[in-house]
C-alpha cells in the first residue's frame, strides 16, 4: 500500500481579516496543504502555535502590537519550531535582512501568484528555503556591500572542517541536499549530518542563514 504524505499544516498570521480569509481559502484548496489556524497579531502567535502545531507559519510583517520580526524570533527560539515564511508588501532591505536573521526560512511578496505561495509552503516544509527572485537579487547586492561582513563571515566559517566548508559553499549557491550529495560524492544522509553540524557549530537556525553567511564570505 502506498504511503500517503501528511498534509502541511499552516498557520496564517495577518492583521487584515480579508488577507487572512483570502490566504486561507487559497491554501486550503492547494494539494497537500491544510490551514489549521489564524492569528491577527504577532502577540497571538505563541498561543496559536501551541494550539494548532503548524509546520509552516505565513507571517505578516507590520502588525499593531507585535510585528512579524519579533514574532518570528520568538517562534524560532522554541523547541521544535515551525518554519516561517514572511509574506508582506514591504520589501525594504532592512525588513528582508531582519526577517532572515530572525530565523525566517522564506520571504515572499503579497503579489506572488497563489500557486507559487502554495509551492513555497511545501518547499519550506521540506526543509528548503525560498525567496522571491527580486528579493534574492537585492539581498545579494546588499550583503556584498555590508561593511565588515566579509571578515566576520570568514572568521566564523574558520570553525568548520573542509568538508563542511564545501557544503556551505554549495548551500550558498542554492543547491538542495540531493544536489550537494551528487556534486560532493556523498550520501544524502552524510549531507544532512554535515548541515546539522554546521547549524550547531555556527549557532544558526536554518539553511537560509547558512546561505547568507556564504554570501557574506564571498563564497557564493
Query: CATH topology of 8-141 equal to that of 149-216?
Result: no
pLDDT for the residue 96: 82
Decide: helix, strand or coil at residue 33. strand
pLDDT for the residue 3: 40
Euclidean distance between CA atoms 109 and 19, whole angstroms = 13
pLDDT for the residue 4: 47
pLDDT digits (tens, 9 = 90+) for 202-211: 999 899 899 9
pLDDT for the residue 139: 64
Euclidean distance between CA atoms 69 and 79, whole angstroms = 18
Decide: helix, strand or coil at residue 10. strand
Decide: helix, strand or coil at residue 36. strand
pLDDT for the residue 2: 40
Domain 8-141 in CATH 2.40.128.20? The answer is no
Euclidean distance between CA atoms 116 and 111, whole angstroms = 10
Task: Give yes or no for a contact between 98 and 59, defined as CB atoms under 8 angstroms apart.
Answer: no
Euclidean distance between CA atoms 30 and 151, whole angstroms = 44
Extract the C-alpha cell encoding 17. 481579516
pLDDT for the residue 142: 62
pLDDT for the residue 58: 96
Query: What ranges do the domains of the chain cover?
Result: 8-141, 149-216
pLDDT for the residue 19: 94
Extract the C-alpha cell encoding 180. 550537494
Euclidean distance between CA atoms 162 and 151, whole angstroms = 18
Domain 149-216 in CATH 1.20.1370.20? The answer is no
Instruction: Report the C-alpha dihedral over residues 125, 126, 131, 136, rounded to 10 degrees.
Output: 150
Task: Give yes or no for a contact between 168 and 156, defined as CB atoms under 8 angstroms apart.
Answer: no
The low-confidence residues of the chain, meaning pLDDT below 50, are: 1-4
Amino acid at each position: 500500500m502506498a504511503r500517503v504524505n501528511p498534509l502541511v499544516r499552516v498557520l496564517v498570521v495577518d492583521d487584515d481579516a480579508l488577507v487572512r480569509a483570502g490566504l486561507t481559502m487559497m491554501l486550503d484548496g492547494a494539494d497537500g496543504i491544510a490551514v489549521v489556524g489564524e492569528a491577527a497579531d504577532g502577540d497571538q502567535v505563541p498561543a496559536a502555535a501551541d494550539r494548532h502545531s503548524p509546520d509552516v507559519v505565513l507571517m505578516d510583517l507590520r502588525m499593531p502590537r507585535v510585528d512579524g520580526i519579533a514574532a518570528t524570533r520568538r517562534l524560532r527560539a522554541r523547541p521544535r519550531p515551525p518554519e516561517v515564511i514572511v509574506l508582506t508588501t514591504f520589501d525594504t532591505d532592512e525588513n528582508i535582512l531582519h526577517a532572515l536573521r530572525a530565523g525566517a526560512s522564506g520571504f515572499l511578496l503579497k503579489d506572488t501568484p497563489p500557486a507559487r505561495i502554495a509551492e513555497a509552503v511545501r518547499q519550506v516544509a521540506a526543509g528548503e528555503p525560498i525567496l522571491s527572485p527580486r528579493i534574492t537579487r537585492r539581498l545579494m547586492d546588499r550583503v556584498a556591500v555590508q561593511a565588515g561582513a566579509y571578515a566576520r563571515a570568514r572568521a566564523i566559517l574558520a570553525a568548520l572542517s573542509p568538508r563542511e566548508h564545501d557544503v556551505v559553499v554549495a548551500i550558498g549557491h542554492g543547491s538542495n541536499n540531493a544536489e550537494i550529495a551528487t556534486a560532493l560524492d556523498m550520501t544524502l544522509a552524510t549531507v544532512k549530518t554535515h548541515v546539522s553540524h554546521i547549524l550547531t557549530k555556527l549557532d544558526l537556525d536554518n539553511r537560509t542563514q547558512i546561505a547568507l553567511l556564504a554570501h557574506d564570505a564571498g563564497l557564493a
